[in-house]
Structure 1
Amino acid sequence: MNPDREQIEANLRLYVDRLAGLIGPRTLQKPKTIQATIGYIEGQWSEMGYTNDRECYDALGDEATNLIVEQPGSKRASEIVVLGAHYDTVFSTPGADDNASAVAVMLEVSRLLRKHTGKRTARYVAFACEEPPYFNVDAMGSQHHARQSRKRGDDIVGMLCLEMVGYYSLHKGSQEIPPAIPKFLHRFFPKRGNFLAAVGNMPSWKLNWQFRQQFPVAPCYWVVSVGCRCI
């Protein structure tokens, strides 16, 4: 593969502009914007030649929808690698960085790999309901997809969840350390938001390490800020 960086940059900007700039806040409390978001994401995948699938479920009394497409594998098609990102936002924000930037990357990866058949099946999922009031209350789209996958007996061998990848800054203090991290560890974390973090749990350490080893350290001029109205 020899990807066209100018085309990739243009596509990323376009995806974020459409989701955050044109559609705006994406929450079940704004059903018109949710339907517009679903239509936009499915429309992009249809243009790429994918067959869209929906996973609908009840989220605190409202219908939520996960969006799914797959690229079947050639040798180990029963083994599935998931690339996902949530498309909803906090109620009052356009969600450029959180999380249109991640949806944009997922869409562009699915475009770039559309004509590439890997050994395993690639599954792309746009998740509903990651933000409050759904966060950590058993109503998240990712939780529902995990439960349904287990019921079906899907052999998911790896999953990469994209989150807030559109912000970049060289200014000291632009990176805040999550409060859940113990203070005695803070000195090991960078103070500038000029990086992407690969985060995984202990059972996934090998996958996380392999991913990190294959991810090049990019000079700053390669990094495109696709979310000018970052949240």
Structure 2
Amino acid sequence: MKKNSTNNNKSFSWKKFFFFSALILFAFLSFQFYEPKYPAKILDKKTDSTLVKKHLNALTEIPNFRNADHLSQLDSTANYLKKDFEKYADDVSFQNFEVDGKNYKNVIASFGTEHKSRIIVGAHYDVCGEQAGADDNASGTTALLELARMLKGEKLNFRIDLVAYTLEEPPYFRTENMGSYIHAKSLKDKNIDVFGMVSVEMIGYFSDEPNSQDYPLGLLSIFYGDKGNFITVVKKFNAGKFANAFNKTYKKSGQIKTQTFTAPQFLQGIDYSDHLNYWKFDYSALMLTDTSFFRNKNYHKASDTVETLDIPRMCKVIDGLYYTLKNLE
């Protein structure tokens, strides 16, 4: 996940005042109409915490760093993902593309291939700089691997494509070289029926300590609380049928405390992951996140390690995804 800092030094303006006022209003409305806590649904399959730890360790211990400067490490990661996907999926493939004379790979695992309409569940496997990137974003990539295991043989209402992207991080963030841009564009070019997309972006860091959760505006803690003990569905206004259905179904799964943050697309931070590229092609898309740098102070640092993650709650996030993918209609 990439934090954009280009506006940090600009003076306060009426636009910022409008944005912050809007944030307070959105939070207030969310608070007023916040749905009651749902009891946890009993699932026929559960996330395996032992496998989660195995994948997290494998992804973060690949020699060197899985960034754009270490192509061999990105290839090793892609091969690891493909090999594991092949145990479970109907179809597994690389999506190869060239950037600056080098070949990069998205990894795609498909389920329910008999269906025309599909749902994309994506997470990036590259990191920013020289760090292990356990939360950002080995956590999201691990979710794809566990979902593959859990979806094997399941009766689905849609085709599910699990897509592991490369080149989400700098220097390619917000460019047409992002793996997710390449993928989203390919869907549009082929006129493929896409119901929607969810970006799984940093889902492993939680805290019950007071003041462990920050916000773009401090007053939001009045409505959402000051503890980083929830997962967040981030979507824009007029997000589309898929985003709204996903949000409702995920909450009904009752697997983990869930908050929804809905804001205008132009609000800084709402598009800090791969879902932004699906918005560009008018697909209904959202982000599932632990809120990144608003909570996890290991963001883009060497301290973003597996030991800092809350594995039990991360597993519950994945359980919610599994339930939602099976029950969306």
**Scaled by the length of structure 1, what TM-score is found?**
0.84
Aligned equivalent of 2:130, options 75, 89, 92? 92
In the other structure, the counterpart of 1:30 is: 70
Structure 2 contact 75–105 (Cα < 8 Å) conserved: no
Counterpart secondary structure, 2:235: coil
**Displacement, 1:80?**
0.4
Alpha-carbon spacing, 1:87–1:186, altered in 2? closer, same or farther (3 Å) = same
**Displacement, 1:194?**
1.2
Aligned equivalent of 2:160, options 97, 104, 122? 122
Structure 2 contact 89–111 (Cα < 8 Å) conserved: no
Q: Distance in 2 between matches of 1:49 and 1:184?
A: 45
User: Superposed, which structure 2 residues align to 1:30-179 within 5 Å?
Assistant: 30-74=70-114, 77-177=115-215
Q: Distance in 2 between matches of 1:227 and 1:197?
A: 21
Structure 1 contact 170–194 (Cα < 8 Å) conserved: yes
**Displacement, 1:73?**
4.7
Alpha-carbon spacing, 1:182–1:171, altered in 2? closer, same or farther (3 Å) = closer
In the other structure, the counterpart of 1:195 is: 230
**Displacement, 1:57?**
1.7
Structure 2 contact 89–148 (Cα < 8 Å) conserved: no
Alpha-carbon spacing, 1:31–1:186, altered in 2? closer, same or farther (3 Å) = same
Identity %: 24
**Over residues 16-49 of structure 1, what are the superposed CA-to-partner deviations in whole Å (9 max), with x where a residue is unaligned?**
0100134452112112211110110011012225
Q: Distance in 1 between matches of 2:256 and 2:245?
A: 21
**Displacement, 1:148?**
0.7
Counterpart secondary structure, 2:181: helix
**Displacement, 1:187?**
3.9
**Displacement, 1:71?**
1.1
Q: Distance in 1 between matches of 2:151 and 2:173?
A: 31
**Scaled by the length of structure 2, what TM-score is found?**
0.61
Say what the alpha-carbon RMSD is for the aligned residues: 2.3
Between the two proteins, the alignment pairs up a number of residues equal to 217
Q: Distance in 1 between matches of 2:110 and 2:198?
A: 15
Aligned equivalent of 1:227, options 300, 303, 306? 306
Q: Which runs of 5+ in 1 are unaligned?
A: 220-225
Q: Distance in 2 between matches of 1:183 and 1:172?
A: 14
